[in-house]
Amino acid sequence: MTRAAAIRARSWRIALPASPALQGAIGLALGSVLWEVTGRTIGGVLIPPFSAVIGRLVDLILSGEIAESLVVSLGNLALGLSISLVVGIGVGSAMGWWRSVDYALSPYVNALLTAPSLVFAPIFFSFWGVGRESIIALIVMYAVFVLIVNTSIAIRSVPEELVEMATCYSASRFQVFRYVVLPTATPLILAGVRLAVGRAVKGMINGEMFIAVVGLGRIIVISGRQLDVASVLAVLIVVVLVALALMRVLLIVEQRLTGWLPETARTG
């Protein structure tokens, strides 16, 4: 690269906003403008303008409908995700640590991971009927298997040299797992948790829409029947904000758990 080209590239980088938060805000602003223009160009029936969707969201918030439905949805999500974390990390750790467990469970885990999770909704409905148990089961179905696979891969990816070094210092098998394997695998496990959170939110909405018409899914179903696209998109914004908030909380937890690692060894 010539000196002049290097100077131009450097000046271009300097012209960009340095703050990631500011860059994200600019991206959201541009997306909102594009949405507004598209909605007003195509027509408000198919794609309502961004301003109309925000106005509808404000109406739903002021009426208390969003708050009431959000409490129900977050309760289902918290229970389903908690079960998924316990089962997913537990089973995944066992599969990664013991080869015999991996050989025994891998066919089932991989089959259920690739199967469409929504097809299990009628099965859960036949077991528990219209209730939160069916929704929670569907959330677990969406989230747990990606957690199992990522956790098992994270455990197996720990360098063998670290395990051998701990063994040479007379560490027991439990101590090796607790103080060497688990901390080293934590970044990859948390990457799986990120994927599981996104899938759990999808499971929550699908369960509320197709099993029991409650929570945010209830608003989507009723609005869809009335062809109220603005309300559907308004609830979709709330769902996305919930997912982003969970990702932010997870990022804070990740920074605390992996703060001792070099920057290049973290997941993001």
The string over 124-135, giving b where at least 16 C-beta atoms fall within 10 Å of a residue's C-beta and e elsewhere, is: bbeebeeebbbb
pTM metric for this prediction: 0.82
Q: Output the pLDDT for position 83.
A: 96
Phi and psi dihedrals of 19, rounded to 5? -80, 125
Query: How does pLDDT run across 164-175, given as a tens digit for each residue?
Result: 888 888 788 888
pLDDT score recorded for residue 126: 86
Q: For residue 61, give the 3-state DSSP assignment.
A: helix
pLDDT band of residue 199 (cuts 50, 70, 90) is very high
- Residues 6+ positions from 44 with CB-CB distance below 8 Å: 52, 230
* Nearest by Cα to 198 from 57, 81, 74: 81
**Tokens 């699908």 correspond to what residue?**
206
- The pLDDT score that the predictor gives to residue 6 is 53
Q: What CATH architecture applies to the domain 66-265? A: Orthogonal Bundle (1.10)
Predicted pLDDT at 90:
94
3-32 per-position pLDDT tens digit:
555 555 554 454 555 566 677 778 778 888
- Please give the span between the terminal C-alpha atoms of the chain, in angstroms, as a whole number: 31
For Cα atoms 242, 39, 202, give the angle at the middle one, nearest 5 degrees: 25
Predicted confidence band of residue 215 (pLDDT cuts 50, 70, 90): confident
Residues 216, 235: Cα–Cα separation, whole Å: 7
Domain boundaries, the chain: 66-265
